[in-house]
Amino acid sequence: MRISIPVSAFVAAIVGFGGTLAIVIAAAAAVGATQVQTASWVTAICLAMAIESLWLSWRTRMPIIAAWSTPGVALIAASSGFSIGEAVGAFIVAGILLIATGLFRPLTKLIARIPASVASGMLAGIVVTFAVNAVKAIPVDPWLILPLIAAFFVIRLFNPALSVLAVLIGGGAAAFLTGRVGGLPTPELSTLTLIVPQFTVTAIIGLALPLYLVTMASQNLSGLAVLRAAGYHPEPGPLIGVTGLLSLLSAPFGASTTNLAAISAAICTGPDVHPDPDERWKTGPFYALAYLVFAIFGASLVAIFAVLPQSLIVLVAGLALMAPLANALSIALKEDGERMAATVTFAVTASGLTLFGVGAAFWGLIAGLVVLFLETFKKR
Contact in structure between 131 and 325 (CB atoms under 8 Å)? yes
223 found inside a domain: yes
221 found inside a domain: yes
By DSSP bridging, strand 66-68 and strand 258-260 are: antiparallel
91 found inside a domain: yes
Show Cβ contacts of residue 200 under 8 Å, excluding neighbours closer than 6 positions. Answer: 86, 89
Contact in structure between 121 and 345 (CB atoms under 8 Å)? yes
Model confidence at 14: pLDDT above 90:
no
Show Cβ contacts of residue 217 under 8 Å, excluding neighbours closer than 6 positions. Answer: 111, 114, 116, 119, 123
Contact in structure between 66 and 56 (CB atoms under 8 Å)? yes
Give the Cα separation of 352 and 129 in Å (integer).
9
345 found inside a domain: no
Read off the pLDDT band of 344 (50, 70, 90): very high
Q: Which residue from 307, 243, 236, 262 is spatially nearest to 50, judged by alpha carbons?
A: 243
Residue 379: phi and psi, rounded to 5, are -65, -30
375 found inside a domain: no
Q: What's the pLDDT at 317? A: 75
371 found inside a domain: no
Please count the structural domains in the chain. Answer: 1
213 found inside a domain: yes
Give the Cα separation of 367 and 1 in Å (integer).
51
358 found inside a domain: no
From the CB of residue 229, how many other CB atoms can be counted at a distance below 10 Å?
12
Q: 265 to each of 6, 165, 194, 199, 284, how far by Cα in Å?
A: 14, 17, 31, 33, 10
DSSP string, 203-253: HIIIIIHHHHHHHIIIIIHHHHHHHHHTT----HHHHHHHHHHHHHHHGGG
Q: What pLDDT digit, counting tens, does each position of 77-133 carry?
A: 888 889 999 999 999 999 999 999 998 878 777 776 778 788 788 878 877 887 898
Element (H, E) at 79: none
Q: Kindly report the pTM of this predicted structure.
A: 0.77
Which region among 2-16, 76-90, 199-213 has the lowest average model confidence (pLDDT)? Answer: 2-16
Q: What pLDDT digit, counting tens, does each position of 295-338 carry?
A: 998 888 888 877 888 888 888 878 877 877 887 888 888 888 88
Full residue range of the structural domain in which residue 83 is found: 4-334
